Amino acid sequence: MAEDSRTIESMTLNAAKAQAISGHQPVDASDSRAQARSFLLSRRGRVTPDQVGLPEGRNRRVKGLRRSEVAELAGISVEYYTKLERGALSGASEQVLDALSCALLLDDAEREYLFDLAKVGVPRARASHRQAQQAWAPSRGLQWVLDSVTVGPAFVRNGRMDLLATNMLARALYDEVFTMPGQGANLARHTFLDDRAYDFYPHWGQIADATVAMLRTEAGRNSHDEGLHDLIGELSVRSDEFRTRWADGNVRHHGSGCKSFNHSAVGEMCLAYEGMIMESDPRLTVTIYTPEPGSHSAQRMQILASWAANRYEQHESSFRVMHETIGQALD
């Protein structure tokens, strides 16, 4: 019976991806023209005339700037900007993209995203995608480095937010992610499809916003990743929260900051984090969390370490095997 229900759910999901659900079409992250169109529209609507030194005027019927105002600020014709906003970014010069970035007040992440969208279809981008499809697994040296971090969780993730390698504290912190039924340990899927995430993240809305923004950034950077397209399609079909946030068109880099977690075994912890691009593979990010020394969070992190040692002690060999095989998430 359980197998039949899983089959039915799979068939339902596949059907939903092919047609609208509740009046909504699933997101197609592979449609670069649609991404460019929605992004430029949303950024234009966000900028007010006074922010760029233009008069407000009367009878303004659009939210934000007019197309003619963006074109004037960027030093291009209205006709050309209209073409760009309709999604025809491929082939736009670096000078034009820079001018658009300035006119629309884009931050670094948004500017990079705009440039990534303009690169779609360029042969070199496709070649790099073929390399990106090669399977990845952590080297023994990298695993030793992760395991040497004993004060907090340390892990490697890809742009799809798959957890590819962890130390024991990261495995313990994200225990819900690893025990969630589905296709491997994925932070985005856990955030939107696992009800436990609402308790795990005390500030769930902020985490959800950041998750969607990072996935959209990755969709612009790696537009040919079929696994990423499938993930975004699944989330847009199964989660109204995801679909609404995706429509906002936000992008961001994930560098450093603080996050709060409410672990079911030890309670709430506030952890500082630092994300670093791997020099040996720029597709991947190493993230390390750490509590403030001497804080309640540090005490709870020590409790989490004891909890993890007891939980995984009897499965230590299986834990090593998990480290050796988890790279299949990129297959």
pLDDT in tens, 24-50: 456 665 577 888 888 898 889 889 888
Phi/psi for 219 (5° steps) reads -65, -35
* Beta bridge mates, 163: 157
pTM of the predicted model over 0.75? no
Nearest of 16, 11, 6 to residue 235 by alpha carbon: 16
pLDDT in tens, 3-12: 444 443 443 3
Instruction: Tell me the one-letter amino acid at 236.
Output: S
Complete edge-to-edge strand list for the sheet that includes strand 163-166: 163-166, 154-157, 281-291, 267-278, 256-263
Within 10 Å of residue 199's Cβ, how many Cβ atoms?
12
**Cα–Cα distance, 199 to 262 (Å, whole number):** 7
Q: How far apart are the first and last CA of the chain?
A: 30
**What is the per-residue burial (b if ≥16 Cβ within 10 Å, else e) of 52-65?**
beeeeeeeeeeebb
**Contacts for 103 with CB less than 8 Å, ≥ 6 apart:** 52, 70, 73, 74
Residue 328: the pLDDT is 47
pLDDT in tens, 157-175: 999 999 999 999 999 999 9
Residue 159: the pLDDT is 92
pLDDT in tens, 220-236: 888 788 899 999 999 99
